[in-house]
Amino acid sequence: MIDLNKLCGMKGKIAIVTGAASGIGAGISRFFSSAGVTVVMADINEHLANCVQSEIVSAGNNAVFIKCDVTKESDCKTLADAVIEKFGRIDILVNCAGVARRHTVETLSEEDWDLALNVTLKSVFLMSKHVVPYMKKAGGGKIVNIGSGWALKGGDHAVSYCAAKGGVWNMTRAMAIDHGPDNINVNCVCPGDIDTPMLKSECEQLGGVYDDKYKDECAQRPMARLGAPEDVAMCVFFLCSDMAPWVTGSSLVVDGGGIA
């Protein structure tokens, strides 16, 4: 009989998750920690992150929070160094931090363009820059970047978000080529509409009300439901596990068939 826990090889691993205070990042943190991974939660929102971290610890699992502005190189370097000092290694990096500003090029401000690109795309560069050297020294690692269905196709009133997520996807492929020889797998998970504070914010930015009617509209896809953070977390877990040793430079769409 196959021992799935042994096959996954995740128990005892050290993972950094950015954007961990809410939404998909929080879902990944909860799921990973429940599987025996020690999660280092990185976010700028101390209050929300501490709430999630306390919940994880209360459940008997391992998570620590380190405040980090992922748009600042000094913060990203400090985070990576702190994890090495505390745990001795970084096995997994999940780049999940992101910002959505729902505008066309006509209505989008330069400030919001910079915010979306810095949080969503630049953060992947900065975190990877300071984590990859430690992974190389350790003989390998796993990086999963959170993209979007809109990394693969366009969306309305989301020009900065589409640009940033499209960049995340192509950056993933470039990193996979560069660091495959270092035994570092780099993949991208592209979610569809997930029931998170970000989706609520997008709805309200467009003048809508985040109610059951709106959620039903988002569920108009083959699987006929809105996604949950756990749907994404399970796919990220697979890519970070020992069950995906030869998967790199790939995009895994997790959207209930929305762009099928």
The residue with tokens 């467009």 is 206
**What residues are annotated to the active site?**
161
Q: How many CB atoms lie within 10 A of CB 110?
A: 7
- Residue 45: CB atoms within 10 Å: 15
Q: Which two tokens stand for residue 85?
A: 């000092």
Collapsing DSSP to helix, strand or coil, 202 comes out as helix
Question: CA-based angle 248:250:254, to the nearest 5?
Answer: 130
Edge to edge, what strands does the sheet with 92-95 contain? 63-67, 38-43, 14-18, 92-95, 141-146, 184-191, 251-254
Note the residue count of the chain. Answer: 260
Structural contact between residues 251 and 147, judged by C-beta atoms closer than 8 angstroms: yes
Give the SS3 label for residue 41.
Answer: strand
How far is it, in rounded angstroms, from Cα 73 to Cα 135?
A: 18
What is the CA angle 151-218-110, rounded to 5? 45
Angle, vertex CA 39, rays to CA 62 and CA 187, nearest 5: 150
